[in-house]
Chain A
């Protein structure tokens, strides 16, 4: 493998890894606040892309994206308020099935609103063939947009969780919901907020990736599965470990192309998921003791 090819694979991997990581962080935020895996997470990404594309003809790009992110956040909040909030002590099975149902309904609604056609946002800078040379490889500037936006989101989230009081309260809910209630924190609002937050970052990821990957009503499912794989890989609930795991999976997938037929690329991710589930369910980076600490 030449150095050039190596870098090319690496960038392809990082681009995808960054997107997987964002989806996985979305999973983790909701999981931490509620203990629910939101199977509709991928749909947020789809909605972000679809709404911004729809808005583009009537407003500038940045405004379309902002509005799309906002609307998706509202959608996320509505999902939580209408379907999750009022259930008392639902079983895990029930929650899994409900979020799967929500994912299907969202997808089907998108199909009937936007049709089956494939759309995309224009490239933020330059056009489809413009590239920048990096270490001998040629990269579309949009790739840098994706990586940059994902990086910024991760940093932003970190700042939010570590330094703001709302972020601290959300972490408290994740660590011990009962105790958070006893401190006077409205945990239900925190849950709604977690849905909004993960809808928002999902939508933003959906916007920046749209020029590269296009958006269609059914892209959510595939992304959700990859995102979940990454979330497990990093250790469920460990939002920032998802970044490492996402990049790892993305790069692994990119390089797998050089040895295996492309059609098996997705099967690889899922095989990894199964192996992790069987042998290291607490994740690659998470440790058993840290997981234990959480429930102390």
Chain B
């Protein structure tokens, strides 16, 4: 029950915002809130890797891009020319392909969004797994550089590959029919449903991670952060746990990428850029590293502001500034810091220590 309370607050708030915007005729806010929700999905995934398991990843935009790009490429790439190959026939027989027309009126044969989505997420998961085995053995600067390097490679591949549209990215990505009558698309008419799809997905993602953190596995992850050596000695297979949580967060990023790409109807190379990865790290840091709710709230707020262009030409500078300010003055995150108030926290600590001392003295 206690756990459900904040979720209930969240759900109420989501519905309230939709109702208020509908009532005041400001429904356009839902656009950025929908997009922010997808970014927040990636951010809570990263939060578990960084804050709980203590592994820095400067390449998460790469996984987002893998998700988005693979799904976009599969749903837009015309397979008409390959129609007669065995593989395509097999796919067609399995109902994985769908025919249509392109903007010039030529006939088009592409992969269905569901199949593309699954392929994209699977692809990101497998890449994370293969990459994670060597990368997660590294620590500190080496880990940072390896993940950064991975992000850059993805960016380069996207920029240099004709399949991924090079610098233009992929446009005209079709909408993604989740259920009959419910599809992920950026059409003006589908705004409310998409708002709920995005937030529904985010809540599901949050609940799952919340559960994970609050369990045997979550404890094991936090123990890795606390002391890898002691965690090993306690029987935690640190390599496996790090890898698994890395894969899970990559999957979160890929899902976010797939959905946002279908919502936007396209994706460009900027989604794979280094600045994006750095921005995600900044948001997790502001939210308070090991603080899922904080990361989520900051993910929503900062992305919302950024997508509305509030920061203008200082967008990147703002995130650079946030990184420095947080790391210098409040490395545990701005939310946990602000709310408690430093004084209150010190008071409580002092009292606790005193009571402890009494007990200790009693023992001695």
A-B interaction: yes
B328 at the A/B interface (Cβ < 8 Å)? yes
A99-127 interface bits toward B, Cβ cutoff 8 Å, 1 = contact, 0 = none: 01111110111001000000000000000
Closest chain A CB from B296 CB (angstroms): 20
Say which residue of B141, B313, B324 sits within 8 Å of A101 (CB atoms).
Answer: B324
Q: Is the CB of A277 within 8 A of B146?
A: yes
Closest B residue by C-beta to A86: B328
Interface residues in B65-123 (C-beta closer than 8 Å to A): none
Contact B56 A105 (CB under 8 A): no
Contacting residues, chain A, for B145 (C-beta < 8 A): 37, 228, 232, 273, 277
Asked if A271 is at the interface of the complex by the 8 Å CB criterion, the answer is yes
Q: Mark B309-330, 1 if CB is under 8 A from A, else 0.
A: 0000110110111111001100
Binds B, one of A5-13, A90-98, A153-161, A166-174: A90-98
Given contacts A264-B160, A277-B138, contact A108 B316 (CB under 8 A): yes
Residues of chain A contacted by B331 (CB below 8 angstroms):
94
Cα separation A161 to B208 with both chains bound (whole Å): 55
Cβ of A278 < 8 Å from any Cβ of B?
A: yes
Docked-complex contact B153 and A271, CB < 8 angstroms: yes
**B17 sits at the interface (CB 8 A):** no
The answer, yes or no, to whether B157 is at the interface (CB within 8 Å) is yes
By the criterion CB–CB under 8 Å, are A274 and B328 in contact? Answer: no
Determine if A266 is an interface residue (Cβ-Cβ < 8 Å).
yes
Shortest beta-carbon distance from A221 to chain B in Å: 7
User: With A104-B278, A108-B316, A277-B138 given, is the CB distance from A97 to B156 under 8 Å?
Assistant: no
B28 at the interface (CB under 8 A from A): no
Which of chain A's residues have a CB closer than 8 A to the CB of B320?
100-105, 107-108
How far is it, in angstroms, between the C-alpha of A102 and the C-alpha of B328 when the chains are bound?
12
Contacts of A98 in B (CB 8 A): 323-324, 327-328
Cβ of B140 within 8 Å of any chain A Cβ, yes or no, is: yes
Residues of A within 8 A of B152 (CB): 225, 266-267, 270
Interface residues of B in 244-292 (CB under 8 A from A): 274-275, 278, 281-282, 285
The docked-state distance in angstroms from the alpha carbon of A35 to that of B3 is 43
| CB atoms of B327 and A101 under 8 A apart | yes
| Proximity string of chain B (117-139) to chain A, C-beta cutoff 8 Å, 1 when within and 0 when not | 00000000000000000110111
With contacts A100-B323, A221-B274 taken as known, whether A105 is within 8 angstroms of B160 at the C-beta atoms is no
Contact of A37 with B141 in the complex, beta carbons under 8 Å: yes
Report if A3 contacts B (CB, 8 A): no
* Interface check A60, CB cutoff 8 A: no
> Within 8 Å of chain A (Cβ to Cβ): is B144?
yes
Question: Interface size for chain B: under 10, 10 to 19, 20 to 34, or 35 or more residues?
Answer: 35 or more
Is A292 part of the contact surface with B, judged by Cβ < 8 Å?
no
- A102 pairs with B324, CB closer than 8 A: yes
- List the B residue with the shortest CB-CB distance to A279: B134
Q: What's the Cα separation between A104 and B322 when bound, in Å?
A: 11
Q: Which of B156, B285, B317 contacts A104 (CB 8 A)?
A: B317
Interface size on A, residues (CB 8 A): 36
Whether B38 is near chain A, meaning CB under 8 Å from some CB there, is no
CB pair B321–A274 under 8 Å, yes or no, is no
A97 contacts B149, CB within 8 Å? no
Residue interface bits A265-285, CB-to-B below 8 A is 1, else 0: 011001101100110010000
Name the residue of chain B whose CB is nearest to the CB of A108.
B317
Q: Which secondary structure dominates where chain A touches chain B?
A: helix
Contact of B321 among A101, A236, A267, A278 (CB under 8 A): A101
* Distance of A24 Cα from B145 Cα, bound (Å): 14
B278 contact set on A, CB distance < 8 A: 100, 104
Cβ-based interface call for B195 (8 A): no
Q: Are B56's CB and A93's CB within 8 A?
A: yes
Contact string against B for A residues 227-241, beta-carbon threshold 8 Å, 1 for contact and 0 otherwise: 010001000100000
Q: Which of A93, A94, A267 has the most CB of B within 10 A?
A: A93
Closest A residue to B151 by CB, please name it.
A270
Please tell me which one of the listed residues A221, A225, A263 contacts residue B160 in the complex, with CB atoms under 8 A apart.
A263
Whole-angstrom CA separation of A55 from B313 in the bound complex: 26
Q: Name the contact of B324 in the complex, choosing from A83, A112, A228 (C-beta under 8 A).
A: A83
Q: Mark B174-212, 1 if CB is under 8 A from A, else 0.
A: 000000000000000000000000000000000000000
Instruction: Give the residues in chain B near A107, CB-CB below 8 Å.
Output: 316, 320
A264-B156 in contact (CB<8A): yes
Q: Is the CB of A270 within 8 A of B141?
A: no
Query: In the complex, which residues of chain B have a beta carbon less than 8 angstroms from the beta carbon of A133?
Result: none
**A278 contacts B317, CB within 8 Å?**
no
In the complex, chain A residues whose CB is within 8 Å of the CB of B153: 267, 270-271, 274
B43 interface residue (CB < 8 Å to A)? no
Knowing A104-B319, A232-B145, the reply to whether A270 touches B156 (Cβ < 8 A) is yes
- The answer to whether A92 and B141 have CB atoms under 8 Å apart is yes
Known: A264-B160, A274-B146. Contact between A105 and B321, CB under 8 A? yes
Q: Which of B149, B157, B316, B327 contacts A94 (CB 8 A)?
A: B327
Contacts of B317 in A (CB 8 A): 104-105, 108-109, 112
A57: CB under 8 A from chain B? no
Judged by a CB distance under 8 angstroms, whether B148 is at the interface is yes
Contact in complex: A267, B324 (CB < 8 Å)? no
Known: A92-B140, A108-B317. 19 other contacts (CB 8 A): A87-B328, A92-B139, A96-B56, A98-B323, A98-B328, A101-B323, A101-B324, A105-B324, A107-B316, A108-B316, A232-B145, A261-B160, A263-B160, A267-B152, A267-B160, A270-B152, A271-B153, A273-B149, A277-B138
Q: Which B residues are closer than 8 A to A by beta carbons? A: 54, 56, 58, 134-135, 137-142, 144-146, 148-150, 152-153, 156-157, 159-160, 274-275, 278, 281-282, 285, 313-314, 316-317, 319-324, 327-328, 331
Q: Can you list 29 A-B pairs with a CB-CB distance of less than 8 A?
A: A37-B141, A93-B140, A94-B327, A96-B144, A97-B281, A100-B278, A100-B323, A101-B282, A101-B322, A101-B327, A102-B320, A103-B320, A104-B323, A105-B317, A107-B320, A108-B314, A108-B317, A109-B317, A225-B149, A261-B160, A263-B160, A264-B156, A264-B160, A267-B153, A270-B152, A274-B153, A277-B135, A277-B149, A278-B135
